[in-house]
Amino acid sequence: MSKSDWAYLSNDLIYASMAVCALAFVTFTYELAWSIKVGAGAEKTTINRRAKVLRIAQALTILYFLILAVAVFSRAISAGRVPWGNMYEFSITGALAFTFAYLVASLKFEVQWLGILITFASLLTLGTAITLLYVPSAPLVPALKSAWLVIHVSAAIISGGVFLLANCIAGAYLILERMELKNDGVRPPWAERLPKLASLDHLSYRLVALVFPIWTFSIIAGAIWAEAAWGRYWGWDPKETWAFITWVGYAAYLHARVTAGWKGRRAAWLCLIAGSTFLFNYVYVNIWGSGRHTYSGL
């Protein structure tokens, strides 16, 4: 296959993965709607059937993930390099990393219910990528030709995926807490099988604590690379500035939890604020910002 064949294959597979992802989303929604309708006192057979629907949705998510993985891989072959050269490629790889983080987390924790959010966010990301951010597959500009691209960007993408997941959980915490407060500590029936508030709170903290060193590493790797490519390791480029702000945000979050004993609502808000600085960096600085990180071909 020629390079352009691989590029076409990649594009087709992105659409295919979106279709499967949409199916998974619909199945998750169906299951959620069902659980809202029948509520807590349902018969055992209904609960079993619902569990089956949830398993189907989960299987569709895995299928979507595999197709997307091949799509990203084909894109890499067509360009002859790692698929992290522009924002379109960051987006499709980011969706892959985000879904991967969810699938791995669902092996260890009870987070299957997050699937509806994950598939929705993936659809949004991929849809934006292929319609607004698409650029043809092309080789890298000289400044990006470095082993640090793989190291720096992969660490940043992993961090982004896990930060986003931690934010989804913090957001779920805030919504569920509100519902419980309104209703004397009782959740609506459909939300009963979701994890307890305390475990949501703990889970989002665990995820941030896990990924904060990776984010730190990503910034350090970026600085080492910048020293080789641009002649300085830190220059307050907009992307660097916002990476620093995100770092400070999550450092404050960890401090607040470990040293000052913050928990629950305040911690969840802090987590969301820090996470939004990451998203802001990705969207604003890439599209409207200036600076040396704008190789994105936009």
For binding to another protein (CB under 8 A), which residues are involved? 138-139, 141-143, 145-146, 148, 209, 212-213, 216-217, 220, 223-225, 227-238, 241-242, 244-245, 248-249, 251-252, 254-255, 259-260, 285, 289-291
CB of 74 to another protein, least distance (A): 20
Are 177 and 195 spatial neighbours (Cβ–Cβ below 8 Å)?
A: no
CB of 222 to another protein, least distance (A): 11
Q: Which is nearer to another protein, 171 or 291 (CB)?
A: 291
Are 72 and 14 spatial neighbours (Cβ–Cβ below 8 Å)?
A: no
Q: Which is nearer to another protein, 104 or 135 (CB)?
A: 135
> What is residue 135's three-state secondary structure?
coil
Dihedral of the alpha carbons of 201, 207, 212, 213, in degrees to the nearest 10:
140
Q: How many CB atoms lie within 10 A of CB 61?
A: 26
Q: Which residue carries 């084909």 as its tokens?
A: 74
How large is the angle between the packed helices 264-280 and 238-258, nearest 10 degrees? 170
CB of 262 to another protein, least distance (A): 12
| Closest to 72 (Cα-Cα) out of 56, 92, 102, 87 | 92
Are 35 and 50 spatial neighbours (Cβ–Cβ below 8 Å)?
A: yes
DSSP letters along 6-70, please? HHHHHHHHHHHHHHHHHHHHHHHHHHHHHHHHH-TT--HHHHHHHHHHHHHHHHHHHHHHHHHHH
What is the distance between the alpha carbons of residues 159 and 161, in angstroms, rounded to a whole number?
Answer: 6
Q: Which is nearer to another protein, 72 or 226 (CB)?
A: 226
Q: Which is nearer to another protein, 36 or 141 (CB)?
A: 141
| Closest to 22 (Cα-Cα) out of 82, 55, 63 | 63
| Apex 238 CA angle, 233 and 240, nearest 5 | 35
CB of 196 to another protein, least distance (A): 17
Are 130 and 75 spatial neighbours (Cβ–Cβ below 8 Å)?
A: no
CB of 101 to another protein, least distance (A): 18
What is the distance between the alpha carbons of residues 105 and 154, in angstroms, rounded to a whole number?
Answer: 19
CB of 40 to another protein, least distance (A): 31
Distance spanning both ends of the chain, measured CA to CA: 28
Q: Which is nearer to another protein, 56 or 143 (CB)?
A: 143
CB of 51 to another protein, least distance (A): 29
CB of 226 to another protein, least distance (A): 10
Q: Which is nearer to another protein, 141 or 298 (CB)?
A: 141
Q: Which is nearer to another protein, 118 or 207 (CB)?
A: 207
Q: Which is nearer to another protein, 172 or 285 (CB)?
A: 285
